[in-house]
Chains A and B, each alone.
Chain A
Protein backbone atom coordinates (compact mmCIF):
# COMPACT_ATOMS: atom_id res chain seq x y z
CA UNK A 1 0.00 0.00 0.00
CA UNK A 2 1.24 3.46 -0.82
CA UNK A 3 0.83 5.40 2.39
CA UNK A 4 0.86 9.15 2.80
CA UNK A 5 4.15 8.82 4.70
CA UNK A 6 5.74 7.71 1.42
CA UNK A 7 4.68 11.06 -0.04
CA UNK A 8 6.32 12.89 2.88
CA UNK A 9 9.49 10.87 2.30
CA UNK A 10 9.43 11.87 -1.35
CA UNK A 11 9.27 15.52 -0.23
CA UNK A 12 12.08 14.86 2.27
CA UNK A 13 14.22 13.26 -0.45
CA UNK A 14 13.66 16.26 -2.73
CA UNK A 15 14.69 18.71 0.04
CA UNK A 16 17.83 16.70 0.85
CA UNK A 17 18.72 16.43 -2.85
CA UNK A 18 18.33 20.18 -3.27
CA UNK A 19 20.46 20.78 -0.13
CA UNK A 20 23.13 18.56 -1.71
CA UNK A 21 23.00 20.49 -5.01
CA UNK A 22 23.39 23.77 -3.12
CA UNK A 23 26.29 22.45 -1.03
CA UNK A 24 28.12 21.47 -4.23
CA UNK A 25 27.86 24.96 -5.61
CA UNK A 26 30.94 26.96 -4.61
CA UNK A 27 29.59 30.25 -5.99
CA UNK A 28 26.35 30.15 -3.97
CA UNK A 29 26.05 33.37 -1.92
CA UNK A 30 24.75 31.56 1.18
CA UNK A 31 26.05 28.10 0.43
CA UNK A 32 26.19 26.53 3.89
CA UNK A 33 23.25 28.33 5.49
CA UNK A 34 20.93 27.46 2.62
CA UNK A 35 22.17 23.92 2.39
CA UNK A 36 21.72 23.43 6.16
CA UNK A 37 18.19 24.88 6.06
CA UNK A 38 16.86 22.70 3.24
CA UNK A 39 18.74 19.62 4.44
CA UNK A 40 17.41 19.94 7.99
CA UNK A 41 13.90 20.58 6.63
CA UNK A 42 14.17 17.35 4.62
CA UNK A 43 15.31 15.38 7.68
CA UNK A 44 12.35 16.80 9.63
CA UNK A 45 10.06 15.27 7.01
CA UNK A 46 11.56 11.82 7.67
CA UNK A 47 11.62 12.18 11.45
CA UNK A 48 8.03 13.43 11.40
CA UNK A 49 6.92 9.92 10.42
CA UNK A 50 7.89 8.60 13.84
CA UNK A 51 6.56 11.63 15.68
CA UNK A 52 3.24 11.13 13.95
CA UNK A 53 3.29 7.45 14.93
CA UNK A 54 4.20 8.54 18.47
CA UNK A 55 7.29 6.31 18.49
CA UNK A 56 9.77 9.20 18.79
CA UNK A 57 9.80 12.26 21.06
CA UNK A 58 8.23 15.33 19.47
CA UNK A 59 10.37 17.90 21.31
CA UNK A 60 13.44 16.97 19.24
CA UNK A 61 11.49 17.94 16.12
CA UNK A 62 10.30 21.05 17.99
CA UNK A 63 13.92 22.14 18.51
CA UNK A 64 14.74 21.42 14.86
CA UNK A 65 11.81 23.61 13.78
CA UNK A 66 13.05 26.48 15.95
CA UNK A 67 16.53 26.06 14.41
CA UNK A 68 14.94 26.31 10.94
CA UNK A 69 13.17 29.52 11.94
CA UNK A 70 16.42 30.90 13.39
CA UNK A 71 18.37 30.07 10.20
CA UNK A 72 15.72 31.64 7.98
CA UNK A 73 15.19 34.80 10.00
CA UNK A 74 18.87 35.63 10.56
CA UNK A 75 19.62 35.93 6.87
CA UNK A 76 21.47 32.60 6.60
CA UNK A 77 19.32 31.68 3.62
CA UNK A 78 19.91 32.97 0.09
CA UNK A 79 18.83 32.40 -3.48
CA UNK A 80 21.59 30.77 -5.52
CA UNK A 81 19.73 31.69 -8.73
CA UNK A 82 20.61 28.37 -10.28
CA UNK A 83 21.32 28.26 -13.99
CA UNK A 84 18.39 27.99 -16.36
CA UNK A 85 17.54 28.91 -19.93
CA UNK A 86 17.64 32.53 -21.15
CA UNK A 87 14.49 34.39 -22.20
CA UNK A 88 15.60 34.18 -25.84
CA UNK A 89 16.10 30.45 -25.59
CA UNK A 90 12.73 30.05 -23.89
CA UNK A 91 10.96 32.03 -26.58
CA UNK A 92 12.58 29.74 -29.14
CA UNK A 93 11.42 26.64 -27.22
CA UNK A 94 7.92 28.09 -26.80
CA UNK A 95 7.66 28.56 -30.58
CA UNK A 96 8.85 24.98 -31.08
CA UNK A 97 6.68 23.21 -28.51
CA UNK A 98 3.69 25.58 -28.48
CA UNK A 99 0.71 24.37 -26.49
CA UNK A 100 2.38 20.99 -25.93
CA UNK A 101 3.99 22.75 -22.96
CA UNK A 102 0.65 22.59 -21.17
CA UNK A 103 0.40 18.79 -21.45
CA UNK A 104 2.61 17.99 -18.43
CA UNK A 105 0.77 20.64 -16.41
CA UNK A 106 -2.59 19.10 -17.32
CA UNK A 107 -1.25 15.65 -16.49
CA UNK A 108 -1.15 16.55 -12.78
CA UNK A 109 -4.87 17.17 -12.20
CA UNK A 110 -5.99 14.50 -14.70
CA UNK A 111 -3.89 11.73 -13.11
CA UNK A 112 -4.83 12.92 -9.62
CA UNK A 113 -8.56 12.76 -10.30
CA UNK A 114 -8.32 9.41 -12.13
CA UNK A 115 -6.33 7.85 -9.27
CA UNK A 116 -8.79 9.21 -6.70
CA UNK A 117 -11.71 7.75 -8.64
CA UNK A 118 -10.00 4.39 -9.16
CA UNK A 119 -8.59 4.13 -5.63
CA UNK A 120 -11.56 2.27 -4.12
CA UNK A 121 -11.19 -0.57 -6.66
CA UNK A 122 -7.38 -0.70 -6.88
CA UNK A 123 -6.30 -3.53 -4.64
CA UNK A 124 -3.57 -6.15 -4.45
CA UNK A 125 -4.44 -9.33 -2.63
CA UNK A 126 -7.48 -7.75 -1.01
CA UNK A 127 -5.43 -4.84 0.34
CA UNK A 128 -6.03 -1.37 -1.09
CA UNK A 129 -3.12 -0.10 -3.19
CA UNK A 130 -3.62 3.48 -2.09
CA UNK A 131 -3.92 4.63 1.51
CA UNK A 132 -7.72 5.04 1.86
CA UNK A 133 -7.19 7.62 4.62
CA UNK A 134 -5.25 10.02 2.41
CA UNK A 135 -6.27 9.26 -1.15
CA UNK A 136 -5.99 12.77 -2.55
CA UNK A 137 -2.45 13.41 -1.31
CA UNK A 138 -1.12 10.11 -2.56
CA UNK A 139 -2.91 10.59 -5.89
CA UNK A 140 -1.44 14.05 -6.23
CA UNK A 141 2.09 12.78 -5.63
CA UNK A 142 1.54 10.09 -8.27
CA UNK A 143 0.19 12.76 -10.62
CA UNK A 144 3.22 14.97 -10.03
CA UNK A 145 5.70 12.16 -10.68
CA UNK A 146 3.80 11.07 -13.80
CA UNK A 147 3.76 14.67 -15.03
CA UNK A 148 7.53 14.97 -14.58
CA UNK A 149 8.02 11.79 -16.61
CA UNK A 150 5.66 13.07 -19.32
CA UNK A 151 7.56 16.37 -19.39
CA UNK A 152 10.91 14.63 -19.86
CA UNK A 153 9.43 12.46 -22.65
CA UNK A 154 7.93 15.41 -24.52
CA UNK A 155 10.65 17.99 -24.00
CA UNK A 156 13.68 15.66 -24.04
CA UNK A 157 16.07 17.75 -21.91
CA UNK A 158 19.76 16.84 -22.18
CA UNK A 159 19.87 15.78 -18.54
CA UNK A 160 17.15 13.40 -17.42
CA UNK A 161 17.25 14.95 -13.94
CA UNK A 162 16.52 18.44 -15.28
CA UNK A 163 13.15 18.56 -13.43
CA UNK A 164 15.00 18.22 -10.13
CA UNK A 165 17.44 21.03 -11.01
CA UNK A 166 14.62 23.29 -12.16
CA UNK A 167 12.57 22.48 -9.06
CA UNK A 168 15.48 23.73 -6.96
CA UNK A 169 15.45 27.02 -8.88
CA UNK A 170 11.80 27.63 -7.99
CA UNK A 171 12.25 26.48 -4.39
CA UNK A 172 15.14 28.87 -3.86
CA UNK A 173 13.14 31.74 -5.32
CA UNK A 174 10.37 30.95 -2.82
CA UNK A 175 12.96 30.75 -0.02
CA UNK A 176 11.91 30.67 3.64
CA UNK A 177 8.31 31.44 2.64
CA UNK A 178 8.07 27.74 1.73
CA UNK A 179 8.04 26.96 5.45
CA UNK A 180 5.48 29.63 6.33
CA UNK A 181 2.22 27.74 5.60
CA UNK A 182 3.35 24.90 7.84
CA UNK A 183 4.34 27.33 10.61
CA UNK A 184 0.98 29.09 10.35
CA UNK A 185 -0.72 25.73 10.62
CA UNK A 186 1.37 24.94 13.71
CA UNK A 187 0.48 28.35 15.14
CA UNK A 188 -3.20 27.50 14.70
CA UNK A 189 -2.71 24.30 16.68
CA UNK A 190 -0.82 26.18 19.43
CA UNK A 191 -3.52 28.87 19.55
CA UNK A 192 -6.18 26.23 20.00
CA UNK A 193 -4.19 24.43 22.74
CA UNK A 194 -3.77 27.73 24.60
CA UNK A 195 -7.48 28.53 24.30
CA UNK A 196 -7.45 31.49 21.90
CA UNK A 197 -10.46 30.19 19.98
CA UNK A 198 -12.40 29.72 23.21
CA UNK A 199 -11.63 33.31 24.22
CA UNK A 200 -12.78 34.67 20.85
CA UNK A 201 -15.79 32.36 21.10
CA UNK A 202 -16.79 33.93 24.43
CA UNK A 203 -16.50 37.39 22.87
CA UNK A 204 -18.47 36.28 19.80
CA UNK A 205 -21.27 34.75 21.89
CA UNK A 206 -21.82 38.24 23.31
CA UNK A 207 -22.98 39.43 19.88
CA UNK A 208 -24.54 36.15 18.79
CA UNK A 209 -28.28 35.69 19.34
CA UNK A 210 -28.74 32.12 20.57
CA UNK A 211 -30.37 29.68 18.18
CA UNK A 212 -29.96 31.80 15.05
CA UNK A 213 -28.18 29.89 12.32
CA UNK A 214 -28.04 32.90 10.01
CA UNK A 215 -26.42 35.06 12.70
CA UNK A 216 -23.81 32.35 13.37
CA UNK A 217 -22.96 32.06 9.64
CA UNK A 218 -22.65 35.85 9.38
CA UNK A 219 -20.40 36.10 12.45
CA UNK A 220 -18.15 33.26 11.20
CA UNK A 221 -17.75 34.70 7.68
CA UNK A 222 -17.45 38.34 8.76
CA UNK A 223 -15.03 37.26 11.51
CA UNK A 224 -12.87 35.46 8.93
CA UNK A 225 -12.99 38.59 6.80
CA UNK A 226 -12.03 40.96 9.64
CA UNK A 227 -9.27 38.80 11.11
CA UNK A 228 -7.84 38.39 7.60
CA UNK A 229 -7.91 42.16 7.10
CA UNK A 230 -6.07 42.58 10.41
CA UNK A 231 -3.48 39.82 9.90
CA UNK A 232 -3.09 39.99 6.15
CA UNK A 233 -3.89 36.34 5.46
CA UNK A 234 -6.69 33.87 5.93
CA UNK A 235 -4.33 31.16 7.18
CA UNK A 236 -3.85 32.79 10.57
CA UNK A 237 -7.51 33.78 10.83
CA UNK A 238 -8.92 30.32 10.09
CA UNK A 239 -7.96 28.46 13.30
CA UNK A 240 -9.15 31.35 15.46
CA UNK A 241 -12.60 31.73 13.92
CA UNK A 242 -13.03 28.00 13.46
CA UNK A 243 -12.30 27.26 17.11
CA UNK A 244 -14.55 30.14 18.14
CA UNK A 245 -17.60 29.61 15.91
CA UNK A 246 -17.01 27.29 12.96
CA UNK A 247 -16.58 24.08 14.91
CA UNK A 248 -18.58 24.53 18.16
CA UNK A 249 -21.53 26.43 16.71
CA UNK A 250 -21.81 25.74 12.97
CA UNK A 251 -20.72 22.09 12.93
CA UNK A 252 -21.54 20.80 16.41
CA UNK A 253 -24.71 22.74 17.25
CA UNK A 254 -26.20 23.25 13.78
CA UNK A 255 -24.76 20.06 12.20
CA UNK A 256 -23.28 21.86 9.21
CA UNK A 257 -21.31 19.83 6.67
CA UNK A 258 -17.72 20.50 7.81
CA UNK A 259 -16.19 20.43 4.30
CA UNK A 260 -18.61 23.09 3.03
CA UNK A 261 -18.45 25.26 6.16
CA UNK A 262 -14.65 25.31 6.23
CA UNK A 263 -14.07 25.66 2.47
CA UNK A 264 -16.42 28.63 2.18
CA UNK A 265 -15.22 30.09 5.49
CA UNK A 266 -11.66 30.20 4.16
CA UNK A 267 -12.90 31.89 0.97
CA UNK A 268 -14.69 34.52 3.09
CA UNK A 269 -11.24 35.20 4.50
CA UNK A 270 -9.84 35.56 0.96
CA UNK A 271 -12.36 38.37 0.40
CA UNK A 272 -10.60 40.12 3.27
CA UNK A 273 -7.24 39.63 1.55
CA UNK A 274 -8.57 41.70 -1.37
CA UNK A 275 -9.31 44.60 0.98
CA UNK A 276 -6.23 44.90 3.19
CA UNK A 277 -2.86 46.66 2.92
CA UNK A 278 -1.56 43.98 5.32
CA UNK A 279 -1.45 41.59 2.35
CA UNK A 280 1.42 43.64 0.99
CA UNK A 281 2.59 41.13 -1.63
CA UNK A 282 -0.75 41.18 -3.37
CA UNK A 283 -1.91 44.74 -2.80
CA UNK A 284 0.99 47.10 -2.16
CA UNK A 285 3.89 45.54 -4.09
CA UNK A 286 2.00 45.59 -7.43
CA UNK A 287 1.06 49.25 -6.84
CA UNK A 288 4.78 49.98 -6.52
CA UNK A 289 5.61 47.72 -9.44
CA UNK A 290 3.16 49.60 -11.67
CA UNK A 291 4.40 52.97 -10.36
CA UNK A 292 0.95 53.99 -9.16
CA UNK A 293 0.49 57.38 -7.46
CA UNK A 294 -2.00 55.99 -4.94
CA UNK A 295 -0.42 53.00 -3.23
CA UNK A 296 -3.89 51.83 -2.22
CA UNK A 297 -5.10 51.95 -5.84
CA UNK A 298 -5.16 48.15 -6.16
CA UNK A 299 -7.27 47.78 -3.01
CA UNK A 300 -9.58 50.50 -4.34
CA UNK A 301 -10.12 48.45 -7.50
CA UNK A 302 -10.78 45.28 -5.46
CA UNK A 303 -13.09 46.52 -2.70
CA UNK A 304 -16.22 46.46 -4.84
CA UNK A 305 -15.55 42.78 -5.60
CA UNK A 306 -14.38 41.70 -2.14
CA UNK A 307 -17.35 43.00 -0.16
CA UNK A 308 -20.20 41.65 -2.35
CA UNK A 309 -18.31 38.35 -2.63
CA UNK A 310 -18.25 38.13 1.17
CA UNK A 311 -22.04 38.50 1.05
CA UNK A 312 -22.22 35.77 -1.60
CA UNK A 313 -20.16 33.43 0.61
CA UNK A 314 -22.53 34.00 3.52
CA UNK A 315 -25.52 33.14 1.30
CA UNK A 316 -23.75 30.08 -0.18
CA UNK A 317 -22.79 28.72 3.22
CA UNK A 318 -26.26 29.30 4.65
CA UNK A 319 -28.01 27.46 1.81
CA UNK A 320 -25.46 24.73 0.99
CA UNK A 321 -23.99 23.58 4.29
CA UNK A 322 -27.02 22.84 6.44
CA UNK A 323 -29.46 20.09 5.55
Chain B
Protein backbone atom coordinates (compact mmCIF):
# COMPACT_ATOMS: atom_id res chain seq x y z
CA UNK B 1 0.00 0.00 0.00
CA UNK B 2 2.99 2.30 0.67
CA UNK B 3 3.67 2.52 -3.09
CA UNK B 4 0.46 4.53 -3.48
CA UNK B 5 2.48 7.49 -2.14
CA UNK B 6 3.88 7.65 -5.69
CA UNK B 7 0.39 8.25 -7.09
CA UNK B 8 -0.15 10.93 -4.45
CA UNK B 9 3.13 12.59 -5.52
CA UNK B 10 1.92 12.77 -9.12
CA UNK B 11 -1.37 14.32 -8.03
CA UNK B 12 0.27 16.87 -5.73
CA UNK B 13 3.08 17.64 -8.18
CA UNK B 14 0.67 18.34 -11.04
CA UNK B 15 -1.62 20.29 -8.69
CA UNK B 16 1.11 22.71 -7.63
CA UNK B 17 2.19 23.06 -11.28
CA UNK B 18 5.73 21.73 -11.07
CA UNK B 19 7.36 20.81 -14.37
CA UNK B 20 5.58 17.54 -15.30
CA UNK B 21 8.86 15.90 -16.36
CA UNK B 22 10.24 16.40 -12.84
CA UNK B 23 6.99 15.22 -11.24
CA UNK B 24 6.94 12.07 -13.32
CA UNK B 25 10.62 11.29 -12.80
CA UNK B 26 10.66 11.93 -9.05
CA UNK B 27 7.48 10.00 -8.34
CA UNK B 28 8.78 7.15 -10.48
CA UNK B 29 12.00 7.01 -8.46
CA UNK B 30 10.20 7.30 -5.09
CA UNK B 31 7.65 4.63 -6.01
CA UNK B 32 10.36 2.27 -7.21
CA UNK B 33 12.37 2.76 -3.98
CA UNK B 34 9.24 2.12 -1.90
CA UNK B 35 8.57 -0.96 -4.02
CA UNK B 36 12.01 -2.27 -3.05
CA UNK B 37 13.94 -1.70 -6.29
CA UNK B 38 17.67 -0.97 -6.02
CA UNK B 39 19.18 2.17 -7.62
CA UNK B 40 20.69 0.15 -10.48
CA UNK B 41 17.35 -1.59 -11.08
CA UNK B 42 15.70 1.83 -11.20
CA UNK B 43 18.19 3.11 -13.80
CA UNK B 44 17.67 -0.10 -15.75
CA UNK B 45 13.91 0.42 -15.57
CA UNK B 46 14.22 3.99 -16.89
CA UNK B 47 16.49 2.79 -19.70
CA UNK B 48 14.42 -0.17 -20.78
CA UNK B 49 11.21 1.81 -20.26
CA UNK B 50 12.52 4.51 -22.59
CA UNK B 51 13.70 1.98 -25.18
CA UNK B 52 10.42 0.07 -25.25
CA UNK B 53 8.27 3.21 -25.37
CA UNK B 54 10.06 4.89 -28.28
CA UNK B 55 7.03 4.30 -30.49
CA UNK B 56 5.09 6.87 -28.43
CA UNK B 57 7.30 9.56 -29.98
CA UNK B 58 6.52 8.52 -33.57
CA UNK B 59 4.52 11.74 -34.04
CA UNK B 60 7.93 13.25 -34.83
CA UNK B 61 7.94 11.67 -38.31
CA UNK B 62 4.89 13.69 -39.38
CA UNK B 63 6.31 17.04 -38.20
CA UNK B 64 8.23 17.77 -41.43
CA UNK B 65 5.17 17.38 -43.66
CA UNK B 66 2.88 19.28 -41.29
CA UNK B 67 5.56 21.97 -41.03
CA UNK B 68 5.89 22.45 -44.77
CA UNK B 69 2.16 22.68 -45.40
CA UNK B 70 1.87 25.15 -42.55
CA UNK B 71 4.59 27.19 -44.21
CA UNK B 72 2.42 27.34 -47.33
CA UNK B 73 -0.71 28.43 -45.49
CA UNK B 74 -2.50 25.32 -44.14
CA UNK B 75 -3.92 27.20 -41.15
CA UNK B 76 -4.94 30.14 -43.31
CA UNK B 77 -6.75 27.80 -45.71
CA UNK B 78 -8.47 26.05 -42.80
CA UNK B 79 -9.60 29.47 -41.57
CA UNK B 80 -11.05 30.29 -44.98
CA UNK B 81 -13.00 27.05 -44.94
CA UNK B 82 -14.25 27.55 -41.38
CA UNK B 83 -15.27 31.17 -42.08
CA UNK B 84 -17.78 29.83 -44.61
CA UNK B 85 -19.80 28.83 -41.54
CA UNK B 86 -20.30 32.51 -40.68
CA UNK B 87 -23.90 32.75 -41.92
CA UNK B 88 -25.21 30.31 -39.32
CA UNK B 89 -26.51 30.75 -35.76
CA UNK B 90 -24.08 30.59 -32.84
CA UNK B 91 -24.94 26.97 -32.01
CA UNK B 92 -24.58 25.88 -35.62
CA UNK B 93 -21.27 27.70 -36.11
CA UNK B 94 -19.94 25.69 -33.17
CA UNK B 95 -21.48 22.47 -34.48
CA UNK B 96 -19.75 23.03 -37.83
CA UNK B 97 -16.47 23.69 -36.07
CA UNK B 98 -16.87 20.57 -33.92
CA UNK B 99 -17.28 18.49 -37.09
CA UNK B 100 -14.26 20.05 -38.83
CA UNK B 101 -12.11 19.73 -35.71
CA UNK B 102 -13.01 16.11 -35.11
CA UNK B 103 -12.62 15.06 -38.74
CA UNK B 104 -9.23 16.72 -39.16
CA UNK B 105 -7.96 15.37 -35.82
CA UNK B 106 -8.91 11.89 -37.00
CA UNK B 107 -6.55 12.48 -39.96
CA UNK B 108 -3.76 13.48 -37.59
CA UNK B 109 -4.12 17.21 -38.28
CA UNK B 110 -4.44 18.28 -34.67
CA UNK B 111 -2.36 21.41 -35.33
CA UNK B 112 -5.04 22.89 -37.61
CA UNK B 113 -7.07 24.09 -34.65
CA UNK B 114 -6.52 24.93 -31.03
CA UNK B 115 -7.47 27.59 -28.52
CA UNK B 116 -4.79 30.05 -29.58
CA UNK B 117 -4.82 29.19 -33.30
CA UNK B 118 -8.54 29.08 -34.08
CA UNK B 119 -10.85 29.46 -31.07
CA UNK B 120 -9.79 32.90 -29.93
CA UNK B 121 -9.18 34.54 -33.32
CA UNK B 122 -11.93 32.84 -35.30
CA UNK B 123 -14.48 30.51 -33.72
CA UNK B 124 -15.54 32.69 -30.80
CA UNK B 125 -15.78 35.91 -32.87
CA UNK B 126 -17.89 34.07 -35.46
CA UNK B 127 -20.23 32.58 -32.87
CA UNK B 128 -20.47 35.94 -31.13
CA UNK B 129 -21.12 37.65 -34.47
CA UNK B 130 -23.94 35.22 -35.16
CA UNK B 131 -25.47 36.00 -31.76
CA UNK B 132 -25.12 39.75 -32.40
CA UNK B 133 -27.01 39.41 -35.67
CA UNK B 134 -29.77 37.50 -33.94
CA UNK B 135 -30.16 39.54 -30.75
CA UNK B 136 -28.84 43.01 -31.62
CA UNK B 137 -26.75 43.10 -28.45
CA UNK B 138 -25.24 40.26 -26.46
CA UNK B 139 -25.40 40.49 -22.63
CA UNK B 140 -22.18 39.64 -20.78
CA UNK B 141 -23.62 36.44 -19.31
CA UNK B 142 -24.54 35.11 -22.74
CA UNK B 143 -21.11 36.07 -24.06
CA UNK B 144 -19.55 33.97 -21.25
CA UNK B 145 -21.61 30.99 -22.30
CA UNK B 146 -20.58 31.34 -25.96
CA UNK B 147 -16.94 31.60 -24.90
CA UNK B 148 -17.19 28.46 -22.80
CA UNK B 149 -18.84 26.55 -25.61
CA UNK B 150 -16.31 27.76 -28.20
CA UNK B 151 -13.44 26.29 -26.21
CA UNK B 152 -15.49 23.18 -25.41
CA UNK B 153 -16.19 22.45 -29.10
CA UNK B 154 -12.45 22.48 -29.73
CA UNK B 155 -11.65 20.13 -26.83
CA UNK B 156 -14.41 17.63 -27.54
CA UNK B 157 -13.53 17.59 -31.24
CA UNK B 158 -9.83 17.01 -30.75
CA UNK B 159 -10.06 14.53 -27.84
CA UNK B 160 -12.54 12.25 -29.56
CA UNK B 161 -11.08 12.65 -33.03
CA UNK B 162 -7.35 12.18 -32.49
CA UNK B 163 -7.71 8.64 -31.15
CA UNK B 164 -8.80 7.47 -34.59
CA UNK B 165 -5.38 8.45 -35.93
CA UNK B 166 -2.83 5.71 -35.25
CA UNK B 167 0.16 7.88 -34.45
CA UNK B 168 -1.40 9.63 -31.51
CA UNK B 169 0.28 9.37 -28.11
CA UNK B 170 -2.61 7.77 -26.26
CA UNK B 171 -2.92 4.84 -28.68
CA UNK B 172 0.82 4.17 -28.66
CA UNK B 173 0.96 4.51 -24.90
CA UNK B 174 -1.59 1.73 -24.67
CA UNK B 175 0.24 -0.60 -27.05
CA UNK B 176 3.63 0.13 -25.45
CA UNK B 177 2.37 -0.40 -21.92
CA UNK B 178 0.41 -3.61 -22.48
CA UNK B 179 2.98 -5.08 -24.88
CA UNK B 180 5.81 -4.48 -22.41
CA UNK B 181 3.95 -5.41 -19.24
CA UNK B 182 1.75 -8.30 -20.36
CA UNK B 183 3.59 -9.56 -23.43
CA UNK B 184 0.58 -8.90 -25.65
CA UNK B 185 0.88 -7.81 -29.21
CA UNK B 186 -1.64 -5.14 -30.12
CA UNK B 187 -1.52 -3.23 -33.40
CA UNK B 188 -2.20 0.52 -33.08
CA UNK B 189 -4.71 0.25 -35.94
CA UNK B 190 -6.85 -2.25 -33.98
CA UNK B 191 -7.14 0.23 -31.13
CA UNK B 192 -7.79 3.18 -33.41
CA UNK B 193 -10.74 1.38 -35.00
CA UNK B 194 -12.32 0.81 -31.60
CA UNK B 195 -12.11 4.53 -30.89
CA UNK B 196 -14.66 5.16 -33.63
CA UNK B 197 -17.88 4.20 -31.75
CA UNK B 198 -17.03 6.60 -28.92
CA UNK B 199 -16.11 9.30 -31.44
CA UNK B 200 -19.52 9.00 -33.09
CA UNK B 201 -21.36 9.13 -29.77
CA UNK B 202 -19.27 12.09 -28.60
CA UNK B 203 -20.28 13.93 -31.77
CA UNK B 204 -23.94 13.03 -31.28
CA UNK B 205 -24.07 14.08 -27.61
CA UNK B 206 -22.12 17.30 -28.03
CA UNK B 207 -23.77 18.10 -31.36
CA UNK B 208 -27.22 17.70 -29.82
CA UNK B 209 -26.23 20.05 -27.01
CA UNK B 210 -24.99 22.64 -29.52
CA UNK B 211 -28.27 22.46 -31.47
CA UNK B 212 -30.10 23.18 -28.23
CA UNK B 213 -27.68 25.97 -27.35
CA UNK B 214 -29.46 28.49 -29.60
CA UNK B 215 -32.74 28.06 -27.71
CA UNK B 216 -30.91 28.38 -24.39
CA UNK B 217 -29.26 31.57 -25.60
CA UNK B 218 -32.70 32.90 -26.68
CA UNK B 219 -33.95 32.36 -23.12
CA UNK B 220 -30.80 33.75 -21.53
CA UNK B 221 -30.98 36.91 -23.62
CA UNK B 222 -34.66 37.35 -22.75
CA UNK B 223 -33.93 36.82 -19.04
CA UNK B 224 -31.00 39.25 -19.14
CA UNK B 225 -33.16 41.93 -20.81
CA UNK B 226 -35.93 41.46 -18.20
CA UNK B 227 -33.38 41.80 -15.43
CA UNK B 228 -32.06 45.00 -16.95
CA UNK B 229 -35.59 46.39 -17.19
CA UNK B 230 -36.23 45.54 -13.53
CA UNK B 231 -32.96 47.12 -12.51
CA UNK B 232 -33.95 50.24 -14.40
CA UNK B 233 -37.41 50.51 -12.81
CA UNK B 234 -35.76 49.89 -9.45
CA UNK B 235 -33.41 52.87 -9.92
CA UNK B 236 -36.15 55.16 -11.24
CA UNK B 237 -38.26 54.06 -8.27
CA UNK B 238 -35.43 55.03 -5.96
CA UNK B 239 -35.13 58.45 -7.53
CA UNK B 240 -38.80 59.16 -7.03
**Residues on A facing B (Cβ under 8 Å):** 4, 7-8, 10-11, 14-15, 44-45, 47-49, 51-52, 57-66, 69, 72-73, 84-85, 87, 90-95, 97-99, 101-102, 104-109, 112, 116, 133-137, 140-141, 144-145, 147-148, 151-152, 155, 157, 162-171, 176-196, 199-200, 202, 230-232, 234-236, 238-240, 242-243, 247, 258-260, 262-264, 266-267, 270, 273-274, 278, 280, 282-283, 285-287, 289-294, 297-298, 300-302, 304-305, 308-309, 312-313, 316, 320
Which of A238, A263, A298 has the most C-beta atoms of chain B within 10 angstroms of its own C-beta?
A263
What are the residues of chain A within 8 A of B69 when measuring CB–CB? 101-102, 104-105, 151, 155
Closest A residue to B168 using CB positions: A181
Report if A69-B3 is in contact (Cβ < 8 Å); known contacts: A62-B47, A166-B67, A185-B56.
no
Selecting from B131-139, B146-154, B217-225, the interface stretch reads B146-154
A193 to chain B, nearest CB (A): 6
B51 CB-CB contact with A under 8 Å:
yes
Q: List 14 A-B contacts (CB under 8 A).
A: A57-B47, A59-B44, A61-B48, A65-B47, A97-B73, A108-B107, A109-B107, A165-B67, A179-B21, A236-B24, A262-B191, A273-B159, A289-B116, A292-B147
Per the bound structure, the CA–CA distance linking A97 and B58 in Å amounts to 28
B67 lies within 8 A of A169 (CB): yes
The count of residues in chain B whose C-beta lies closer than 8 Å to any C-beta of chain A is 119
What is the chain A residue whose CB lies nearest that of B115? A286
CA distance A232 to B167 in the complex (A): 21
Q: 5 nearest interchain CB pairs?
A: A194-B35, A166-B67, A94-B73, A58-B47, A62-B43
Q: Does B165 contact A (CB under 8 A)?
A: yes
Q: Is the CB of B65 within 8 A of A305?
A: no
**A48 to B109 Cα, complex, angstroms:** 29
Contact residues of A: prevailing secondary structure: helix
For the complex, give the distance between the alpha carbons of A14 and B74 in Å: 23
Report yes or no: B10 in contact with A236, Cβ–Cβ below 8 A.
yes
Task: Kindly state whether residue B28 has any CB partner on chain A within 8 Å.
Answer: yes
CA distance A258 to B179 in the complex (A): 11
A185: B residues at CB distance < 8 A = 49, 53, 56, 173, 176-177
